[in-house]
């Protein structure tokens, strides 16, 4: 490692050769603004907000891509020339930007808005001129694309490409440039998988989740409706960020208290459905291994991943588990077993789920997700939408007391909690499959080899004398590598977990948005995952088949895992989808 001596704003420093100005300045506590930059994803120097002066350079340089490669380099980050250049850049961006900030979903959490305040923009119309009004795309179930708020930073393009999908890019040139799909198609007309990763990297309100909070408030206000809500495990690990709490804060108790105060009739945990999923999925895996079924079996609880497979790898659909996701299983049981038990007409139930995932908004409307014309889940809102509901209701979230889920479907195991992190579904399944095959209550249940935020993980386990090889991937580019191996006959593993979003559900497209200044230097997905593993470690029950609610459900209603009634309620089918 070669170190060189440099000066930043007249102060001497020593840095590794070829470090970018942006990274060097950050390491010494000097902030440089950015708009387009995303570390390891979108390092293109396009927005020009990070420009600095370098002694001897003919013009200002982009700090995010400029390598410091000379001994004695002198850098200036805050001169009048630099300040004026950044301010002018902002004014030019605003020249054709939809400036309806008061009604924008990203108001107060907009990187452009914050920079305009920081740089003292007084005349937002300084470069006013032609400003065409572009159509707003509301065609998908999960997001709204408003190019009138787009600043052409291309972060969304990079995120989509990172997900191996790449259905958006720059169209036209110069003043006519827009970000969109090929031939100006709507997102619903292309092979978008609804992962929502574009929404969490967008610095403005150009890409936002399709808001369904009004539907929820209306349902709660309807005296004829029984409104039941379920929350996914990853939500508790992130919701606090909407209220200024530290990344990696578990707010489960406050979240439940808030949901009850919002007026939901019952508050259940999707972890119940996760435990149920393991019983069904584990049984399916054992059956495939023993009876020559299609292997490797691949998990099916991530709807973005399922849609990706339907679009890009339809020949591998037989490898998918037929199990519904925990969201859909929980919804199915609410409208069947729970409704019968409580004497409630299923048609009067409004089943709401709070998810870290935007693809869940697509999933609950899929065919074969419900029965007899009754949907398993009626409305899906994201973690961010729940945060907005709590704020709108005037609840002091940070100071709410901790409260418990309603017990009917609110007891869960540690195995269910870790579903929200990459590797969690695999570990949960192994805990139960090992016990079922050995007929023993095994004490070694921490399958640490499949934990962590690495892109792809492989492991081999001895399960009841049988060698079980597993693979775990998060992020669709990594999933594609595993799927290509399966297609080529190179895969020698029997069980695969795939999560659509990098790091798993904790990093879903519906989770709280952190600015690039945080995303670039904090491993958000790892910090949120710690919440789930800590809760798992502290729970008295850590195997899904130990859940007393799940046991009673099978005894009283479903029969046996993988049985006829279980298949009718808890399993689904897939379809081959075209690619445009």
CB of 327 closer than 8 Å to CB of 360: yes
Q: Which of 410, 452, 152 is nearest to 273 (CA)?
A: 410
Q: Domain span at residue 12? A: 3-78
Instruction: Report pLDDT for 175.
Output: 87
Q: Which of 467, 391, 436 is nearest to 546 (CA)?
A: 436
Helix (H) or strand (E) holding 462: strand 456-463
CB of 436 closer than 8 Å to CB of 509: no
Helix (H) or strand (E) holding 22: helix 21-27
The number of domains in the chain is 3
* Cα(50)–Cα(85) distance, integer angstroms: 10
In this structure, are 191 and 273 located in the same domain?
A: no
What CA–CA distances, in Å, run from 517 to 108, 243, 522?
Answer: 16, 18, 9
Helix (H) or strand (E) holding 457: strand 456-463
In this structure, are 51 and 118 located in the same domain?
A: no
In this structure, are 146 and 273 located in the same domain?
A: no
Instruction: Report pLDDT for 372.
Output: 86
Instruction: Report pLDDT for 269.
Output: 97
* Cα(206)–Cα(106) distance, integer angstroms: 9
User: For residue 84, is it within any domain?
Assistant: no
In this structure, are 18 and 41 located in the same domain?
A: yes
User: For residue 15, is it within any domain?
Assistant: yes
CB of 402 closer than 8 Å to CB of 254: yes
In this structure, are 265 and 148 located in the same domain?
A: no
pLDDT tens per residue across span 6-43 = 999 999 999 999 999 999 999 999 999 999 999 999 99
In this structure, are 474 and 527 located in the same domain?
A: yes
Query: How many CB atoms are closer than 10 A to CB 122?
Result: 9
Instruction: Report pLDDT for 327.
Output: 98
* Cα(36)–Cα(139) distance, integer angstroms: 26
CA torsion, points 59, 62, 65, 66, in degrees to nearest 10? 40
Q: Which tokens sit at 239?
A: 């919701």
CATH code, domain carrying 141? 3.30.70.20
Q: Which of 78, 50, 54, 51 is nearest to 6 (CA)?
A: 54
pLDDT tens per residue across span 99-118 = 999 999 999 999 999 999 99
Q: How far is CA 20 from the centre of its chain?
A: 29
Domain stops at, among 78, 107, 141: 78
In this structure, are 236 and 343 located in the same domain?
A: yes
CA torsion, points 176, 179, 184, 187, in degrees to nearest 10? -160
CATH code, domain carrying 356? 3.40.50.1780
* Cα(551)–Cα(142) distance, integer angstroms: 35
Q: Around 333, how many Cα atoms within 13 Å sit in the side-chain half-sphere?
A: 31
Q: Which of 420, 239, 267, 252 is nearest to 351 (CA)?
A: 267
Rg (CA), the chain: 25
User: For residue 576, is it within any domain?
Assistant: no
Domain stops at, among 54, 78, 102: 78
* Cα(252)–Cα(236) distance, integer angstroms: 5
Instruction: Report pLDDT for 384.
Output: 98
In this structure, are 273 and 382 located in the same domain?
A: yes
* Cα(415)–Cα(459) distance, integer angstroms: 18
User: For residue 579, is it within any domain?
Assistant: no
What CA–CA distances, in Å, run from 302 to 325, 350, 369, 372, 429?
Answer: 7, 23, 14, 25, 15
Domain stops at, among 19, 44, 78: 78
Ranges of beta strands (E only) in 226-305 are 226-231, 266-269, 297-298
In this structure, are 20 and 132 located in the same domain?
A: no
In this structure, are 34 and 174 located in the same domain?
A: no
User: For residue 580, is it within any domain?
Assistant: no
The three-state secondary structure class of 350 is strand
What CA–CA distances, in Å, run from 349 to 198, 219, 331, 377, 406?
Answer: 33, 10, 10, 10, 16
User: For residue 86, is it within any domain?
Assistant: no
Instruction: Report pLDDT for 410.
Output: 84
User: For residue 248, is it within any domain?
Assistant: yes
Query: How many CB atoms are closer than 10 A to CB 78?
Result: 15
User: For residue 577, is it within any domain?
Assistant: no
In this structure, are 147 and 264 located in the same domain?
A: no
Residue segments in the chain with a per-residue pLDDT below the cut of 70: none
Q: Which tokens sit at 388?
A: 């907005």
Specify the pTM: 0.96
In this structure, are 267 and 340 located in the same domain?
A: yes
CATH code, domain carrying 46? 3.10.20.740
Phi/psi of residue 416, each to 5°?
-70, -40
């Amino acid at each position: 490692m070669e170190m060189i001596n440099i000066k930043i704003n007249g102060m001497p420093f020593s840095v590794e050769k070829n470090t970018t100005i942006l990274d060097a300045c950050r390491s010494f506590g000097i902030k440089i603004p950015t708009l387009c930059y995303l570390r390891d994803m979108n390092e293109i120097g396009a927005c020009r907000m990070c420009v600095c002066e370098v002694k001897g350079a003919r013009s200002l340089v982009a700090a995010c891509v400029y390598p410091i490669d000379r001994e004695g380099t002198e850098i200036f980050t805050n001169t009048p020339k630099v300040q004026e250049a950044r301010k002018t850049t902002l004014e030019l961006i605003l020249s054709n930007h939809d400036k309806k900030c008061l009604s924008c979903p990203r108001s107060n959490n907009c990187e452009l808005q914050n920079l305009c305040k920081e740089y003292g923009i007084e005349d937002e119309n300084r470069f006013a001129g032609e400003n065409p009004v572009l159509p707003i795309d509301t065609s998908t179930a999960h997001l709204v694309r408003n190019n009138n708020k787009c600043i052409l930073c291309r972060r969304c393009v990079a995120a989509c490409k990172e997900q191996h999908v790449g259905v958006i890019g720059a169209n036209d040139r110069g003043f006519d440039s827009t970000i969109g799909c090929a031939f100006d198609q709507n997102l619903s007309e292309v092979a978008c998988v609804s992962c929502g990763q574009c929404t969490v990297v967008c610095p403005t309100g150009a890409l936002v989740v399709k808001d369904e909070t009004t539907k929820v408030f209306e349902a709660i206000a309807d005296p004829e409706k029984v409104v039941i809500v379920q929350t996914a495990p990853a939500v508790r690990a992130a919701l606090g960020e909407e209220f200024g709490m530290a990344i990696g804060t578990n707010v489960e108790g406050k979240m439940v208290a808030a949901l009850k105060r919002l007026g939901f009739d019952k508050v259940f945990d999707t972890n119940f459905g996760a435990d149920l999923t393991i019983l069904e999925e584990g049984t399916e895996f054992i059956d495939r291994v023993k009876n020559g079924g299609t292997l490797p079996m691949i998990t099916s609880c991530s709807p973005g991943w399922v849609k990706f497979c339907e679009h890009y790898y339809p020949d591998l659909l037989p490898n998918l588990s037929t199990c519904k996701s925990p969201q859909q299983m929980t919804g199915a049981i609410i409208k069947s077993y729970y409704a019968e038990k409580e004497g409630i007409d299923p048609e009067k139930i409004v089943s709401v789920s709070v998810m870290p995932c935007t693809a869940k908004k697509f999933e609950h409307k899929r065919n074969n997700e419900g029965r007899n014309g009754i949907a398993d889940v009626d409305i899906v809102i994201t973690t961010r939408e729940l945060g907005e509901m709590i704020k709108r209701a005037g609840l002091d979230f940070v100071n709410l007391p901790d409260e418990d889920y309603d017990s009917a479907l609110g007891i869960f195991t540690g195995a269910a909690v870790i579903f929200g992190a990459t590797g969690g579904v695999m570990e949960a399944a192994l805990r139960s499959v090992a016990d079922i095959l050995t007929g023993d209550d095994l004490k070694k249940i921490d399958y640490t080899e499949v934990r962590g935020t690495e892109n792809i993980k492989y492991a081999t386990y001895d399960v009841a004398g049988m060698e079980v090889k597993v693979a775990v991937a998060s992020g669709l580019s990594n999933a594609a590598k595993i799927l290509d191996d399966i297609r080529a006959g190179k895969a020698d593993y029997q069980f695969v977990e795939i999560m659509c979003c990098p790091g798993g559900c904790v990093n879903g497209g519906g989770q709280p948005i952190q600015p690039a200044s945080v995303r670039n230097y904090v491993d958000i997905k790892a910090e949120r995952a710690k919440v789930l593993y800590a809760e798992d470690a502290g729970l008295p029950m850590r195997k899904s088949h130990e859940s007393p609610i799940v046991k009673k459900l099978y005894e009283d209603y479903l029969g046996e895992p993988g049985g006829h009634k279980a298949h009718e309620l808890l399993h689904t089918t897939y379809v081959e989808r075209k690619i445009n």
